Amino acid sequence: MFEHTTLQVPAMPELKIMIYTPLPGTDTMEKLQQLMDQDVAISAM
């Protein structure tokens, strides 16, 4: 599960960036790390 924050440039409201961070007390961070580790292992092949 994630919490998200949206940032917007006042002079250009059509530009937005969304930042997703894992919620505390969930295993989301560990799952993301496992996915990244798998991607690195596949790229090394």
pLDDT value of position 38: 86
pTM attached to this predicted model: 0.53
Domain boundaries, the chain: 2-44
Residues with Cβ within 8 Å of 8's Cβ and at least 6 positions away in sequence, in order, are 15, 16
Per-residue pLDDT tens digits for 12-37: 999 999 999 888 899 988 888 898 88
- 6-40 burial, b at 16+ Cβ within 10 Å, e below that, comes to eeeeeeeeeeeeeeeeeeeeeeeeeeeeeeeeeee
Phi (first) and psi of residue 10, to 5 degrees: -55, -40
Would the pLDDT of 6 be above 80?
yes
Q: Confidence class of residue 8 from pLDDT cuts 50, 70 and 90?
A: very high
What integer pLDDT is reported at residue 45 of this predicted model?
62
